Structure 1
Amino acid sequence: MSERAAITQAVRERAHSLGFDLVGFAPLDAPARADFFRWWLEQGYAGEMHYLHRTADARCDPQQVLPGAKSAVVVGLNYAPAVPIVTNDPSRGVFARYALGEDYHEVMTQRLRQLLEYIRQLRPDCQAKIYVDAGPVLERDLAWRAGLGWFGKNTMLIHTRRGSYFLIGEILLNIELEYDQPAFGGCGTCTRCIDACPTGAIVAPYVLDARRCISYLTIELRGSIPEEHRSQMGNRVFGCDICQEVCPFNHPRPHAPERASPTYEPAFAAREITVAPKLVDLLRMREEEFRTAFRRSPVKRAKWRGFRRNVAVALGNSGQEEALQVLQQELIHETDPMVREHLEWAIERCATRPRSSRSS
């Protein structure tokens, strides 16, 4: 076995010992989907995620990120929850599965640092960069080339045996390694994700208009949610998993029983507040309570005002008598114009529903 192959195998074994479910290696040449990414930006599909435009050149050229870059160690960590996700009770909020527990950025970065320490024991001269969903790299492209999964029509990366409920992180290195083959697979004629998306965000197979995506609307968007999408959000207050929930690859089969199997990662265990919380309780939370409840949680990315905006919309969609009362109470004291707008919309939506359709 060559030194390069030996190091690759040792790193793979160490990554698994650190708890990563998937590990792969890819060369750091030009991303295969660079042209598609630039086209996607030109269509305006990134919405207000201006950082994607600012970092476009670096994302399409790894040498701008790490001069002399040659290899990427790409890892995947399962986050499928062990608790059932209640989505059919309009009085209770729904959080994206990855946001039920601790912030995955912190969890994965800490482990990738441990992995890098090990790599430097093998190659003390190596230079490296660690990223977890926050760096100027085309992360899913890297993961595909490292064999972790293939692109689904919902644009998620899908592992044939494990599904798509896994998070991605990577270490960029200036040393050569042995590389895995790109993942092979496909959706066939299935269009369940496209058909199920309530906002029509998947505008074509493999093309997502983020401006319509509930995840974008509840997390990345800082201003007002377009009215045409508010009723389509239902009771989702942070993120959305609909296009993954309907995907056949996220449902166990006899030949793939591990699909969407619950994570064994303690940090991803659901917090009480993220498991079907009452929407009225979420809206009554004060800012300090929000910060305490979602400390070290991905939910903090929405910010306090964005979270209240999301909850107000969900309460408006619930149409319940108790929701109307709480919305009216909160409007009295709310000073943020953007949040007030959504509270007023929710009040009108609740108030104009037939009384018989409301329940407390």
Structure 2
Amino acid sequence: MKDGDRWMRLKEEMLDAAASLGIDKIGVASADPFIELKQILIRHRELGRESGFEEPDLDKRTNPSLLFDSPQSIIAIAIAYPSKLVDPPKSEPGARRGIIARASWGQDYHTVLRDRLSKLEAWLKERVPELRVESMVDTGALSDRAVAERAGLGWGGKNCMIMNDELGSWIYLGEMITNLPLPPDKPLADGCGECTKCIDACPTGALVGPGQLDSKRCISFLTQTKGFLEDEVMRKIGNRLYGCDTCQTVCPVNRRKNWTHHPELQPDHELVKPLLVPLLTIGNREFKERYGSMSSAWRGKKPIQRNAVIALGNFKEKSAVGDLIGVLQDDPRPVMRGTAAWSLGKIGGEEAEAALQAAVLKETDEEAKVYIERAMAEMAECSEMESI
């Protein structure tokens, strides 16, 4: 058998074995440097659009040979995840709920993809004993999306997601650099056409153009930060606790697509759409026990607690005033106190007003004090309007 035929046959067998390995799509990309991507990333950095969570070395992000000795090909994989909750619990007055983005439903996808990549590696090792690989999932240096696009798993959507006709953008991506000269797949043609629904629907205008994201304006990024947020951002966060799915839910390619064949990725309704008030005082141990197996837990409880406070303010949930006053008075973290003040200002009422007046006198953190004063001013303005 010719050498080229050997690798083609191995690739065909690998594709046939994908489902048995728990993988929905496999593609192969060349291990050449991602020259065009590097120029895009340079411009992205110059414009200040990075999130800060990325690998800082642009050469490592775009040149596989800096990560692996003599790379020959990159195998890209995709695993589909669910997009719908069946019979979800209702968010209603007195029992308001937040929502966690779909990509964090079920078991942490990093764990799931590493398991699948490990199975694929074992499968390849049985057939090619001299195999060498370097596997990556999300936190690796390479761009998962750039590899997946080159490997033909999907096209780069205007929402910066990899879009696949069959699976939509509800897919997790992973890759392994290898020393196997597997024949590469061809990238798919763009399937977005003239559609701009994702760009039009982005709550903060973070999609600044087709396939162009200002990460620092993206709600998905902002919900993962730990500091104070601006008023406009908090209003637009709504009841999101972690992540944002707007640019995916409005996408016509994703219509009626929901994947339930990976049991470990299925959502626990009470975890992905939790009651907000209990989150305000959840302890570290309980948080780790309840949420530790989900990818949304990677930043700890603080961002999710802050976002729960924001959500109660956006709901104008009067029954939560006492709980928010507790945060304002007792939480040791300035961000939580200031955000609680913001929410109390949105809800209003005599009890909230009295609590803010008391809090501003004893607040020692300057930034938190600013938020308290702004909330008081907003309530005073509303009272004036109502009296006219």
TM-score computed with the length of structure 1 as normaliser: 0.90
Match of 2:259 in 1: 262
Question: Which has the higher mean CA deviation after the structures are superposed, 114-123 or 345-354?
Answer: 345-354
Do the aligned partners of 2:271 and 2:291 also contact (CA within 8 Å) in 1?
no
Do the aligned partners of 1:160 and 1:185 also contact (CA within 8 Å) in 2?
no
More helix by share: 2
Question: Which has the higher mean CA deviation after the structures are superposed, 163-172 or 278-287?
Answer: 278-287
Does the alignment pair 1:290 with 2:294? no
State the Cα distance separating 1:16 from its structure 2 match.
2.4
After superposition, give the CA deviation of every residue in 1:200-224 in whole Å (9 maximum; x if it has no partner). 11111211111111110012x2322
Match of 1:257 in 2: none
After superposition, give the CA deviation of every residue in 1:236-284 in whole Å (9 maximum; x if it has no partner). 00101000000000014xxxxxxx2322111111123234322112223
Match of 1:192 in 2: 197
Match of 2:48 in 1: 44
After superposition, give the CA deviation of every residue in 1:118-159 in whole Å (9 maximum; x if it has no partner). 111222212211111110002111101111100111111101
Specify the SS of the correspondent of 1:11: helix
Specify the SS of the correspondent of 1:116: helix
Question: Which has the higher mean CA deviation after the structures are superposed, 14-23 or 161-170?
Answer: 14-23
Where do 1:343-354 residues align within 5 Å? 343-351=340-348, 352=379
CA distance in 1: counterparts of 2:112 and 2:186, whole angstroms: 27
State the Cα distance separating 1:81 from its structure 2 match.
3.9
Does the alignment pair 1:240 with 2:244? yes
Q: Cα distance 1:122–1:194, how it changes in 2: closer, same or farther (>3 A)?
A: same
Code of the residue aligned with 1:41 in structure 2: it is R
Percent of aligned pairs sharing the same letter: 32
State the Cα distance separating 1:314 from its structure 2 match.
1.2
Does the alignment pair 1:30 with 2:33? yes
Equivalent residue for 1:64, pick from 55, 63, 66: 66
CA distance in 1: counterparts of 2:299 and 2:248, whole angstroms: 21
Match of 1:316 in 2: 313
Question: Which has the higher mean CA deviation after the structures are superposed, 295-304 or 279-288?
Answer: 279-288
CA distance in 2: counterparts of 1:66 and 1:323, whole angstroms: 54
Specify the SS of the correspondent of 2:341: helix
Code of the residue aligned with 1:11 in structure 2: it is M
After superposition, give the CA deviation of every residue in 1:63-92 in whole Å (9 maximum; x if it has no partner). 111121111111100012452486994721
Q: Cα distance 1:240–1:151, how it changes in 2: closer, same or farther (>3 A)?
A: same
**Relative CO higher for 1 or 2, CA cutoff 8 Å, sep ≥ 6?**
1
Match of 2:16 in 1: 13
State the Cα distance separating 1:48 from its structure 2 match.
3.4
State the Cα distance separating 1:173 from its structure 2 match.
0.3
Code of the residue aligned with 1:265 in structure 2: it is H
Do the aligned partners of 1:85 and 1:275 also contact (CA within 8 Å) in 2?
no
The higher radius of gyration belongs to 2
Match of 1:336 in 2: 333
Structure 2 unaligned segments of length 5 or more: list them.
Answer: 349-378, 384-388
Does the alignment pair 1:107 with 2:115? no
Code of the residue aligned with 2:130 in structure 1: it is D
Match of 2:232 in 1: 228
Match of 1:132 in 2: 137
Do the aligned partners of 1:193 and 1:244 also contact (CA within 8 Å) in 2?
yes
CA distance in 2: counterparts of 1:207 and 1:180, whole angstroms: 25
State the Cα distance separating 1:163 from its structure 2 match.
0.9
CA distance in 2: counterparts of 1:70 and 1:42, whole angstroms: 32
CA distance in 1: counterparts of 2:87 and 2:197, whole angstroms: 19
After superposition, give the CA deviation of every residue in 1:162-187 in whole Å (9 maximum; x if it has no partner). 21000001111022001111111231
After superposition, give the CA deviation of every residue in 1:273-307 in whole Å (9 maximum; x if it has no partner). 23432211222322221111112111211312122
Do the aligned partners of 2:27 and 2:151 also contact (CA within 8 Å) in 1?
yes
Do the aligned partners of 1:100 and 1:271 also contact (CA within 8 Å) in 2?
yes
Where do 1:113-128 residues align within 5 Å? 113-128=118-133
Specify the SS of the correspondent of 1:126: coil
CA distance in 2: counterparts of 1:194 and 1:312, whole angstroms: 28
Does the alignment pair 1:303 with 2:300? yes
Equivalent residue for 1:202, pick from 191, 207, 210: 207
CA distance in 1: counterparts of 2:82 and 2:38, whole angstroms: 30
Q: Cα distance 1:336–1:269, how it changes in 2: closer, same or farther (>3 A)?
A: same
Specify the SS of the correspondent of 2:138: coil
Structure 1 unaligned segments of length 5 or more: list them.
Answer: 253-259, 356-360
CA distance in 2: counterparts of 1:306 and 1:72, whole angstroms: 35
Report the RMSD for the aligned CA atoms in angstroms: 2.1
Equivalent residue for 1:4, pick from 2, 7, 20: 7
Do the aligned partners of 1:81 and 1:270 also contact (CA within 8 Å) in 2?
no
Do the aligned partners of 2:88 and 2:269 also contact (CA within 8 Å) in 1?
no
